[in-house]
Structure 1
Amino acid sequence: MTLPDTISGLLGIDGVVGTVIGAFLGAALIGTIMLANAALAGPWAKRKITAAFTDRIAINKLGPLGLGHILPDAVRLLSKELIVPEGVDRPAWDIAPIIMVFSALLGFAVIPMGSGIHLADPSVGLIFAFAVASIASVSLVMAGYSSNNKYSFLGGLRAVAQNLAYEIPLILTGLSVVLFAGSLQMSEIVAAQQETLALGPIGIPAWFGLVNPFAFVLFLVANVAEVGRNPFDIPEAPTEIVAGFQTEYSSVYFVLLYLGEFVHIFLGGALIATIFLGGPAAPIAALSVVPGFIWFLIKIWGVFLFTQWLRSALPRVRIDQLIEIGWKGMLVLSIANLFLTAVIVGVLPS
């Protein structure tokens, strides 16, 4: 049973009206949870993690562990004057930040986050998630060309080049998981990972990240490039093109772009958790007493921690290196992985 069905049942509302109300409330609940996680990650966790990696203290004055800084930072950013540069192409300039956030939030509609915490479960759920996540590239292009700024325009062009170079390997690697699961439906992909594999005397979960670690690494790297994190943060590259596509944005528009980046990181983490790490499943049966939703959050925060580690540990690659890695490396490896997976699935007993 999906979350909208559960909500409409609790409210005692049947029919189309119950479905609509349940879907609206369920979407609002999931959206609020993901936005809250992104708000925690951006103003607080990012700074604390980076400080830990670089042997600094970071924010610590307000509240326990500096958590009290989140609200003042939000008020400070939202209360700043919204400066609209001359010559911007409106309404494209206004719409771009909104698309950035909602394209990421829409992807969570098909992600199973735990028992009954699933907004929708279409038969093409994985394709839907890939499709709506890629809409973010449109917002980057819109922000770049509409800002009437050469640095913003360069950032938009880089976003297009990066998306083309890494979107294809990302999807091809995801399709290798589909070959194992035999379905594009997210719930079926999670269900296919519920068995236990015997590794000698040790039993390990049949997560696709363990069954095919090569595909897992490929998807992880392509996802980092897709969400524009170091060493692939070429579209904004602060030391090269000021701030790239977001150079001319301030106040609430900057907050939307900044928040959208972190929601996309969590969407990428949600996809990795779902198709490679068993979704909301616990790593061992003994830990199943912990609710699946908690395990799901732990996994996506683990992916976020990984992106922040890369940010502190690796230098940014040049644009030509990024394109070469994507087309000459990732694409070739993802095609080879898909081919080998098809061969393995074809010879395995059904």
Structure 2
Amino acid sequence: MIPAVTLPEQFVEWFGLDPANPIAVFAMGLLAAAGVASFVLAQTALAGPWAKRKITAKFTDRISVNQHGPWGIFIIVADSIRLLSKELIIPEGADRPAYDLAPLVLAGSALLGFAVIPLGSGIQVADPEIGLVYVFAVSSIASLGLLMAGYASNNKYSFLGGLRAVAQNIAYEIPLVLTGVSVVLFTGTLQLSAIVEAQQQTLVQLGPIAIPMWFGLLNPFAFAIFFAANLAEVGRNPFDIPEAPTELVGGYQTEYGSVYFVLFYLGEFIHIFLGGAIIATLFLGGPAGPGPEILGLFWFTLKIWAVFLVTQWARSAVPRVRIDQLIDFGWKRLLVLAFANFVVTAVAVGVLA
């Protein structure tokens, strides 16, 4: 069970500070936020330059990075130096304020989402009563960053990529939110720690084995819809239309290089891990798992990496579809299925209650 106390409150207690002192609470909040951000950035640094290549190579029967340190792990350092040392070239006619802010908006919006995610036993920066609304709201800011990048680059391919990103995100964010709200019907709360706690109950007892009441097991239909919509939100095949290298060169990020490209690349993977964190929280019991509560962070990390593995499988195995097919599927099929799931869930909860 997730304790009601948050990470900043624990820090205040550990350091012997006055919980009524707003400066002390604010400082401990910054410390907790920095710790969670460091954890997330470490995961994405491992996933982007190294794990992504290793996983893709396994799926496509190729040899991956193996020349930089054990198992090629030092490719992370090599890629960082290579990309950060490149010259930052600004396209002529670019809208500088929007051009400069777009990568920060993309990466920052995903990091903000982790502020309310319960990562483990008491490892949560904040636990507001509207936690689910907050995480959906801040993650959707990424669409603004993609549109800013496409518009500000003064490049028609970038602009088309930005427009595609907005069209795709709108089409799939509604089914994503609707399916997430269907979980709220079971729990009666938007507070993420309470949603995790509700999944600690036993669904089925098979002798000595207790199957937990994870909402992914209780309602696998909703889980499948949410997973598909999440793939679209993070831009993994067959939903990588905003970049579409064979059509749009690189889409919204065509004109970005050096540190700006690093921020875009980092933001993309932070959003993938945020999507995995939301899936783990809503459908897979959050940090719950066998053993003591102290292992919560381990189990949570394992779950988000499992989601990451599936997204990389989709990237390697699923072909890209046309933009009209993608939008058609989102509005005419997935949205209908999400509404149907919402209605059936509401009826089922009403009958069982």
Residue 312 of structure 1 is aligned with which of 309, 316, 320? 316
Alpha-carbon distance in 1 for matches of 2:139, 2:205:
36
Matched AA of 2:345? T
TM-score normalised over the length of structure 1: 0.97
Does residue 270 (structure 1) correspond to residue 277 (structure 2)? The answer is yes
- After TM superposition, the runs of 4+ consecutive aligned structure 1 residues lying more than 6 A away are none
Alpha-carbon distance in 1 for matches of 2:336, 2:307:
24
Does residue 103 (structure 1) correspond to residue 130 (structure 2)? The answer is no
User: Where does residue 212 of structure 2 map in the other structure?
Assistant: 205
CA deviations 1:61-87 (Å, max 9, x no partner) are 111111011101101000100000100
Alpha-carbon distance in 2 for matches of 1:331, 1:141:
23
Alpha-carbon distance in 1 for matches of 2:68, 2:14:
40
Deviation at 1:11, TM superposition (A): 2.0
Alpha-carbon distance in 2 for matches of 1:32, 1:151:
34
Alignment CA distance shift 1:134-1:42 (3 Å): same
Residue 244 of structure 1 is aligned with which of 238, 246, 251? 251
Is the CA contact (8 Å cut-off) linking 1:193 and 1:208 kept in structure 2?
yes
Does residue 231 (structure 1) correspond to residue 238 (structure 2)? The answer is yes
Does residue 39 (structure 1) correspond to residue 39 (structure 2)? The answer is no
Deviation at 1:29, TM superposition (A): 0.6
Deviation at 1:98, TM superposition (A): 0.4
TM-score normalised over the length of structure 2: 0.96
Does residue 194 (structure 1) correspond to residue 166 (structure 2)? The answer is no
Residue 131 of structure 2 is aligned with which of 125, 134, 153? 125
Higher mean alpha-carbon deviation, 231-240 vs 244-253, is at 231-240
User: Where does residue 81 of structure 1 map in the other structure?
Assistant: 87
CA deviations 1:106-135 (Å, max 9, x no partner) are 000000011110000000000000000000
Deviation at 1:197, TM superposition (A): 1.3
- In structure 2, the gaps of 5 or more residues are none
User: Where does residue 20 of structure 1 map in the other structure?
Assistant: 26
User: Where does residue 229 of structure 2 map in the other structure?
Assistant: 222
Alpha-carbon distance in 2 for matches of 1:121, 1:258:
29
Alpha-carbon distance in 2 for matches of 1:264, 1:127:
16
User: Where does residue 137 of structure 1 map in the other structure?
Assistant: 143
Is the CA contact (8 Å cut-off) linking 2:187 and 2:198 kept in structure 1?
yes
CA deviations 1:178-236 (Å, max 9, x no partner) are 00011000011001000111266563110000000000000000000011111101111
Alpha-carbon distance in 2 for matches of 1:279, 1:249:
36
Deviation at 1:290, TM superposition (A): 6.3
Question: Pairwise CA RMSD of aligned residues?
Answer: 1.1
Does residue 281 (structure 1) correspond to residue 285 (structure 2)? The answer is no
Matched AA of 2:213? A
Secondary structure (helix, strand or coil) at the match of 1:198 reads strand
Alpha-carbon distance in 2 for matches of 1:87, 1:77:
24
Residue 343 of structure 1 is aligned with which of 344, 347, 350? 347
User: Where does residue 59 of structure 1 map in the other structure?
Assistant: 65
Alpha-carbon distance in 1 for matches of 2:169, 2:62:
34
Matched AA of 2:156? K
Matched AA of 2:336? V
Alpha-carbon distance in 2 for matches of 1:106, 1:66:
31
Matched AA of 2:158? S
Alpha-carbon distance in 2 for matches of 1:220, 1:18:
40
User: Where does residue 293 of structure 1 map in the other structure?
Assistant: 297
Secondary structure (helix, strand or coil) at the match of 1:231 reads coil
Is the CA contact (8 Å cut-off) linking 1:281 and 1:288 kept in structure 2?
no
Matched AA of 2:182? S
CA deviations 1:147-201 (Å, max 9, x no partner) are 0000000000101110110000000000000000110000110010001112665
Is the CA contact (8 Å cut-off) linking 1:126 and 1:185 kept in structure 2?
yes
User: Where does residue 176 of structure 2 map in the other structure?
Assistant: 170
- In structure 1, the gaps of 5 or more residues are none
Secondary structure (helix, strand or coil) at the match of 2:211 reads strand
CA deviations 1:42-98 (Å, max 9, x no partner) are 000000000000111100111111101110110100010000010001110000000
Alpha-carbon distance in 1 for matches of 2:76, 2:278:
27
Matched AA of 1:326? G
